[in-house]
Structures are given as C-alpha cells and as structure tokens.
Amino acid sequence: MRISGVVQYVILEVFIILAEDKSKVINLLKTAYGQIDGIIKMVEEDRYCVDVSNQILSVQALLKKTNLKIIDQHIKHCVKQAFSEGEVAGNKKVDEIIKLLDKYAK
C-alpha cells in the first residue's frame, strides 16, 4: 500500500512487516484456516484417508510458505535494524534465525 509515495509499514508487536506483505500473510493464514475446517469435515464424514492426508500436506505447505514470508520480513527489517543498533543486538537476532533454521532442518 502506498500513501503519498511512501511505503506504509505496520508495526506488529516486535517486528515490522510491509502492509502488502501483511495482507499476503493474512490471506495465506485464512486459506489454511479454511482448509483445516475442510479437513475436519472430511474426518467427520469418514472420507478416504489418502484424500485427508493430501489436504493436510496442502495446509502444511501453506503454513511453511507463510512462515517463510514472515522470516523474510524479519531478516530484511528486524535483523537489519538490530545491526544498526550495534553488533550485540545484531548477533542476538542472527542467533534467533539460526534457532529457527534448526527447527526447519528437523
């Protein structure tokens, strides 16, 4: 979203995310939410297990894509800002990213 030629930023708790990326993240999460609701209905209706499993994999992919978008914004804004505040603050943010990557690798 552009306001007077300047990109608008929205502050969300401890990180900054571009308004347009926030919209993308919200849409991805809403889509995943809808798919999870559909999966619940599939299980309630005793649908074919492989079909249910495929839908679960689809939601997992959406959540992974969403998380990568958030991590991308964190690195571009929060980590960058932390390094401008000093090496100690920057290294702390890098350590957080390393812990996240470790979770992805498992």
pLDDT in tens, 23-34: 899 999 999 999
Is the pTM here over 0.75, yes or no? no
Pairing of strands 9-12, 6-7: unpaired
pLDDT > 70? residue 9: no
> Which long-range CB contacts under 8 A does 78-84 form with residues at least 24 apart?
78/14, 78/15, 78/16, 81/16
pLDDT in tens, 19-66: 778 889 999 999 999 999 999 999 999 999 999 999 999 999 999 999
The pair phi, psi for residue 69, each rounded to 5°, is -65, -40
- Which one has a higher pLDDT value, 71 or 3? 71
Contact 42, 11 (CB under 8 A): no
Listing DSSP states for 65-94 in one string gives: HHHHHHHHHIIIIIIHHHHHH-HHHHHHHH
pLDDT in tens, 57-102: 999 999 999 999 998 888 888 888 888 899 998 999 999 999 988 9
Burial-class residue 79 by CB neighbours within 10 Å (0-12, 13-18, 19+): buried
Distances, alpha carbon 55 to alpha carbons 44, 60, 76, 104, in Å:
14, 9, 32, 21
State which amino acid sits at residue 27. Answer: N
